[in-house]
């Protein structure tokens, strides 16, 4: 990519800044980034959107993208093991992060800032810091693999008559779009109503019980267009989809993505929001939403479901005029117990923090919680790193 030199030394000190590829004029805050051959090496304080711009100018993309890209830092993305919109195609940060530097509780600088795709020299220590939310060490620099920038991106936005049809559309998608499928997101009618009423975003398709956003990313526009149009033809013919629209230009693509990405903003304008971020077997992904509507009745303003269907990740949100302990009592631990009953995860991609630390037991056995606590004690015996977070009060 750019002719800048790699980190000057992996072992002696932390001089991984480079003159090349400054991603922000505000260097003190964001730090620097360097890159070569699709590998980005940067300081932890770089903002995801600025890194995206930096690598896109050089023919690559970041392997992750999320709604908060304009403000989130790459170090925080790693610390929370962020998922997001490109997970379906490019997978987890556990595979795409090549190295990191972390400062341990005793001040030791742990330099694992490799830029190699393969490295089996002992335990993969960087994994300890990915997703541990700063409780085992503070991530200070990152090396990450960036996929080549796709030459053609298309987005289809579809209306589906039911969730069964959403699932069948996903199956058809995987079969017919195969390697060019880069996102498969869904939202229910309540989500569309909220982005309409609070943000004045109009639905691009006929009113439907469910909506699906399919993104393709490929290297040859004609091939992708052909795959996508035969996919849409088959779908519309089969009744799985009642209406659909296709975007190939950047402006329209952005507008379609906004419908999905701005749901959280619309929810926040609807009232107090009870938020859940769960993983489930994909066939059961939506079951909890109608279940909760029946359970809560008029006590909830809205119960909505949307998320990364391709990853089995549901964002379940309940709004009400104001916070109510009684409503919370209806939701918790009910939602967690229901999720555990499906062998799901009570925290799919948003992390644990202090809010969910005491519900980990719904998704993790006691032996795992005990080992987590032992790791914490080993790495942070005085409990000074991000205290009161991630680990259960009693493990």
In the chain, the N- to C-terminal Cα span, in Å, equals 47
Which residue from 45, 75, 244, 312 is in contact with its own copies, where contact means CB under 8 A? Answer: 312
Alpha-carbon distance of 46 to 326, in angstroms, equals: 41
- Considering the rule CB under 8 A, would residue 117 count as an interface residue with its own copies? yes
Cβ at position 184, least distance to its own copies in Å: 12
Q: b/e string for 72-89 if b means 16 or more Cβ within 10 A?
A: bbbbbbbbbbbbbbbbbb
- Considering the rule CB under 8 A, would residue 119 count as an interface residue with its own copies? yes
Cβ at position 148, least distance to its own copies in Å: 6
Footprint of its own copies on 3-62 (CB under 8 A) = 6-7, 10-11, 36-37
Residue with tokens 């005990």: 370
- Which tokens hold the place of 252? 């329209």
Cβ at position 235, least distance to its own copies in Å: 16
- 232 or 266: CB nearest its own copies: 232
Instruction: Residue 221: name the closest of 248, 247, 246, 251 by CA.
Output: 248
Question: Which DSSP string corresponds to 289-336?
Answer: HHHHHHHHGGG-SEEEEEEEGGGTEEEEEEEESS--HHHHHHHTTHHH
Q: Which helix (H) or strand (E) is 102 found in, with range?
A: strand 97-103
Cβ at position 1, least distance to its own copies in Å: 11
- Considering the rule CB under 8 A, would residue 173 count as an interface residue with its own copies? no
Footprint of its own copies on 288-307 (CB under 8 A) = none
- Considering the rule CB under 8 A, would residue 183 count as an interface residue with its own copies? no
- Considering the rule CB under 8 A, would residue 229 count as an interface residue with its own copies? no
- Considering the rule CB under 8 A, would residue 393 count as an interface residue with its own copies? no
Cβ at position 288, least distance to its own copies in Å: 15
- Which tokens hold the place of 229? 């149009």
Cβ at position 132, least distance to its own copies in Å: 5
- Considering the rule CB under 8 A, would residue 151 count as an interface residue with its own copies? yes
- 179 or 207: CB nearest its own copies: 179
Which residue from 226, 233, 249, 321 is in contact with its own copies, where contact means CB under 8 A? Answer: 226
Alpha helices in 68-204 (DSSP H): 74-79, 87-90, 93-96, 126-129, 163-177, 189-199
Beta carbons of 142 and 48 less than 8 angstroms apart? no
The sign of the CA dihedral 165, 171, 177, 180 is positive
Cβ at position 265, least distance to its own copies in Å: 22
- Considering the rule CB under 8 A, would residue 87 count as an interface residue with its own copies? yes
- Considering the rule CB under 8 A, would residue 124 count as an interface residue with its own copies? yes
- Considering the rule CB under 8 A, would residue 143 count as an interface residue with its own copies? no
Which residue from 20, 68, 138, 176 is in contact with its own copies, where contact means CB under 8 A? Answer: 176
Alpha-carbon distance of 378 to 108, in angstroms, equals: 14
The sign of the CA dihedral 374, 375, 381, 386 is negative
Name, in order, each residue with C-beta under 8 angstroms of 371's C-beta and a sequence gap of 6 or more. Answer: none
- 243 or 332: CB nearest its own copies: 332
- 65 or 270: CB nearest its own copies: 65
Footprint of its own copies on 319-378 (CB under 8 A) = 343-352, 356, 360, 363-365, 367-369, 371-372, 374-375, 378
Cβ at position 320, least distance to its own copies in Å: 26
Binding mask 256-285 for its own copies (x = CB under 8 A): -----------------------xxxxx--
Q: Can you say how many angstroms the Cα of residue 45 is from the centroid of all Cα atoms in its chain?
A: 19
Q: Can you say how many angstroms the Cα of residue 19 is from the centroid of all Cα atoms in its chain?
A: 31
Q: Can you say how many angstroms the Cα of residue 338 is from the centroid of all Cα atoms in its chain?
A: 23
Which residue from 78, 110, 259, 285 is in contact with its own copies, where contact means CB under 8 A? Answer: 110
- Considering the rule CB under 8 A, would residue 122 count as an interface residue with its own copies? yes
């Amino acid at each position: 990519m750019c002719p800048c030199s790699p980190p000057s030394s992996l072992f002696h000190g932390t001089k991984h800044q480079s003159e090349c590829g400054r991603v922000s004029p505000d260097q003190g805050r964001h730090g620097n980034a360097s890159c070569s051959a699709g590998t980005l090496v940067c300081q932890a304080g770089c903002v995801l959107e600025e890194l995206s711009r930096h690598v896109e100018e050089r023919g690559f993309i970041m392997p992750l993208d999320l709604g908060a890209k304009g403000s989130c830092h790459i170090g925080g993305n790693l610390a929370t093991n962020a998922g997001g919109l490109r997970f379906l195609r490019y997978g987890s940060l556990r595979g795409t992060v090549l190295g990191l530097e972390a400062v341990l509780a005793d001040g030791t600088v742990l330099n694992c800032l490799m830029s190699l795709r393969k490295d089996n020299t002992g335990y993969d220590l960087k994994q300890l810091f990915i997703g541990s939310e700063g409780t085992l060490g503070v991530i200070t620099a990152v090396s990450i693999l960036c996929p080549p920038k796709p030459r053609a991106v298309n987005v289809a936005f579809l209306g589906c008559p039911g969730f069964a049809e959403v699932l069948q559309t996903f199956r058809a998608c995987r079969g017919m779009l195969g390697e060019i499928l880069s996102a498969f997101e869904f939202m229910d009618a309540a989500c569309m109503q909220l982005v309409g009423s609070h943000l004045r975003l109009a639905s691009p398709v006929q009113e439907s019980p469910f909506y699906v956003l399919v993104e393709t990313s490929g290297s040859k526009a004609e091939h992708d267009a052909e795959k996508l149009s035969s996919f849409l033809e088959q779908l519309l013919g089969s009744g799985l989809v009642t209406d659909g629209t296709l975007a190939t230009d950047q402006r329209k693509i952005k507008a379609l993505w906004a419908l999905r990405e701005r749901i959280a903003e619309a929810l926040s304008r609807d009232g107090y929001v009870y938020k859940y971020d769960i993983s489930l077997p994909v066939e059961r992904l939506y079951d909890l939403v109608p279940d909760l509507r029946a359970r809560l009745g008029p006590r909830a303003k809205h119960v909505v479901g949307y998320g990364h269907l391709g990853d089995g990740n549901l964002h379940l949100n309940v709004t009400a005029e104001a916070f109510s302990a009684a409503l919370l009592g209806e939701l918790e631990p009910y939602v967690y117990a229901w999720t555990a009953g499906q062998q799901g995860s009570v925290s799919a991609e948003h992390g644990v923090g202090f809010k969910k630390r005491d519900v980990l037991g719904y998704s993790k056995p006691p032996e795992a919680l005990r080992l987590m606590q032992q790791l914490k004690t080993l790495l942070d015996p005085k409990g000074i790193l991000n205290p009161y977070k991630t680990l259960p009060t009693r493990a």
